[in-house]
Amino acid sequence: MTAVLVTGGAGYIGSHTCKALRRAGFDPVAYDNLARGNAEAVQWGVLERGELADGSRLRDALARHRVAAVIHFAALAYVDESNDDPPLYYRNNVGGTAALLGAMREADVGTLVFSSSCAVYGAPKTVPIAEDCAIAPINPYGATKAVCEAMLQQCATAFALNFVAMRYFNAAGADPDGEIGECHEPETHALPRLLDVAAGRAESFAINGDDYPTADGTCERDYVHVTDLAEAHVAALRALLGGAESGAFNLGAGRGASVRVLVETVREVTGRDVAVTVGPRRPGDPPVLVADIARARAKLGWQPRYSDLRTQVAHAWAWQQGAGRHWQRMQARTPA
Ligand SMILES: NC(=O)c1ccc[n+]([C@@H]2O[C@H](COP(=O)([O-])OP(=O)(O)OC[C@H]3O[C@@H](n4cnc5c(N)ncnc54)[C@H](O)[C@@H]3O)[C@@H](O)[C@H]2O)c1
């Protein structure tokens, strides 16, 4: 089996991608410091516990497992935290990616799938957003992703590197088999926080502004199922290993859902009451972010299978009511 190093493989999207890789006949090796991930999520390959910044540890893992390609998820990914502490984000996300690229060059591994983000686009004036939209991040988190993409371009001209940058919109949902799902502490994403309210673990969900120029006044986001993301990574990896050129791809459902629509869908799927409060707008939140996914469809043959909103909510709820409860209890006992 072809070995693939998956940095951040104990995290939310990384663990789902390890499962998809194993299903597709690859041998995933999760490389994670467990700062934000869960060891329980590493079920389809070994866990190499290590720091991205540790070049010699990375080189050792690349050589020992005879790694043919890398999928790079490991990053800090909270916008508010990045606003509070930009150096932390540059050190971890940019410094870590530089260490990884150096180790790949030395180990002669020239294939990389990189987790970028729609945050590189900032607040575009037109939607849906295509890949040729201007790169104009509006927070340090998005800026670190943009710098990493530029670094990848520069490395691809400096040495033998072929890469794709995957610009995800809002990852949501959980493994359709209920084996893994989203489990962060603290949780910042809207859907798991809404489900916490539905489950009685939180009192209410705060809507940040209902006076945006959208149909119901709340922000619209493009939610894409985590298993669809995982399958896109497998498709991109196969394309690169088959000789495809470097490039960037948007990954979303290709349609938006407002915060109020998300709340209603959670109420319908869970059958529970979900209390909401409405607060002021959060600075830097664009009204609408929706992906144009034509390029990923055409060039990767990718088709989202689970990304209708109801399915994403149903899978996340099933996970939270099942194995996710056990993970949450473990996290509560393990101080960060
Ligand atoms: N979740 C989303 O909606 C979303 C959207 C756009 C982009 N992304 C990107 O996708 C990637 C994965 O996101 P996620 O939601 O799965 O996050 P996550 O926090 O669940 O996973 C990230 C993993 O990386 C590990 N990690 C972080 N820094 C590390 C370091 N220095 N060394 C080793 N391991 C380290 C963490 O322990 C964690 O397990 C990130 O790069 C994120 O920026 C996520």
What digits encode the pLDDT tens for the residues 201-221? 999 999 999 999 999 999 999
Question: Separation of 73 CA from ligand 1 center, angstroms?
Answer: 5
Q: Nearest 5°: phi and psi at 242?
A: -85, 5
CA-to-CA distance for 248 and 239, rounded, in angstroms? 13
Exposed, middle or buried, 143 (CB in 10 Å: 0-12/13-18/19+)?
Answer: buried
> Does position 327 have pLDDT exceeding 90, yes or no?
no
Q: Nearest 5°: phi and psi at 108?
A: 60, 40
Which atom of ligand 1 is closest in space to residue 36's alpha carbon? 37
> Does position 241 have pLDDT exceeding 90, yes or no?
yes
| pLDDT at 333 (0 to 100) | 61
Which atom of ligand 1 is closest in space to residue 77's alpha carbon? 43
- The helix or strand, by DSSP H or E, that contains position 227, with its residue range, turns out to be helix 226-241
DSSP 111: E
- Looking at residues 227-237, what average pLDDT do you find? 98
| pLDDT at 334 (0 to 100) | 62
> 12, 141, 168, 212: which one is catalytic?
141
Does the annotation count 141 as an active-site position?
yes
* Token code pair at residue 15: 């663990």
Question: Omega before 186 cis (within 30°)?
Answer: yes
| pLDDT at 328 (0 to 100) | 74
pLDDT in tens, 170-205: 999 999 999 999 988 888 899 999 999 999 999 999
pLDDT band at 300 (very low <50, low <70, confident <90, very high): very high
CA-to-CA distance for 63 and 3, rounded, in angstroms? 11
Q: What is the largest CA-CA distance in the chain?
A: 56
- Looking at residues 80-85, what average pLDDT do you find? 94
The residue contributing the CA closest to ligand 1 atom 7 is 117
DSSP 92: I
| pLDDT at 332 (0 to 100) | 66
To the nearest whole number, what is the mean pLDDT of the chain?
96
pLDDT in tens, 117-157: 999 999 998 999 999 999 999 999 999 999 999 999 999 99
- Looking at residues 69-76, what average pLDDT do you find? 98
| pLDDT at 82 (0 to 100) | 95
Q: Which of 6, 7, 12 to mutate to test the pocket of ligand 1 (most atoms within 8 A of CB)?
A: 12
The residue behind tokens 């473990």 is 330
**In the chain, what are the domains?**
2-172+223-251 (3.40.50.720), 190-221+254-333 (3.90.25.10)
pLDDT in tens, 21-54: 999 999 999 999 999 999 999 999 999 999 999 9
* Token code pair at residue 177: 């088999």
Residue 73's nearest CA partner among 6, 21, 16 is 6
Is residue 336 within 8 A of residue 78, CB to CB? The reply is no
- Looking at residues 241-260, what average pLDDT do you find? 97
CA-to-CA distance for 37 and 6, rounded, in angstroms? 13
pLDDT band at 316 (very low <50, low <70, confident <90, very high): very high
> Does position 93 have pLDDT exceeding 80, yes or no?
yes
* Token code pair at residue 246: 């470097």
> Does position 324 have pLDDT exceeding 90, yes or no?
no
How big, in percent rounded to 5, are the helix, strand and coil portions of the chain? Answer: 45, 20, 40
Which atom of ligand 1 is closest in space to residue 35's alpha carbon? 37
Is residue 323 within 8 A of residue 181, CB to CB? The reply is yes
> Does position 330 have pLDDT exceeding 90, yes or no?
no
CA-to-CA distance for 194 and 258, rounded, in angstroms? 14
- Looking at residues 51-71, what average pLDDT do you find? 98
- What is the identity of the amino acid at 131? E
**Against a cut of 0.85, is the pTM above it?**
yes
pLDDT in tens, 265-279: 999 999 999 999 999
Question: Separation of 68 CA from ligand 1 center, angstroms?
Answer: 22
Question: In Å, what is the CA distance from 141 to each residue of 94, 100, 136, 283?
Answer: 10, 19, 12, 15
CA-to-CA distance for 194 and 262, rounded, in angstroms? 9
- Enumerate residues lining ligand 1, CB below 6 A: 8, 10-14, 32-37, 51-52, 73-77, 92, 96, 115, 117, 168, 170-171
Residue 233's nearest CA partner among 173, 170, 300 is 300
CA-to-CA distance for 113 and 6, rounded, in angstroms? 9
